[in-house]
Amino acid sequence: MLPGRVAAFGDTNVATGSERLIVLAETRKREPQVLEALRAEINGLVADLPAGRRTR
């Protein structure tokens, strides 16, 4: 990943009342196995985030 080239934001599913986290990360890597390893690492880190309650 490139420094300063990562963004994360939430996407609300109105039907279920849930929200998913979307992570965009820019890289110069092109090899499919390297890209899949990056995806797996990001997904593993996101899966470890504590669930929060939304307040409005």
Q: Where are the domains of the chain?
A: 6-47
Measured over the CA atoms of residue 45, residue 51, residue 55 and residue 56, the dihedral's sign is positive
Mean pLDDT of 20-39: 92
- Write down the H helix ranges in the chain: 32-47
At position 10, the amino acid (one-letter code) is G
The pLDDT of residue 33 is 97
At position 39, the amino acid (one-letter code) is R
Is residue 48 within 8 A of residue 41, CB to CB? The reply is no
Q: Can you give the pTM of this predicted structure?
A: 0.65
Confidence of residue 1 (pLDDT cuts 50, 70, 90): low
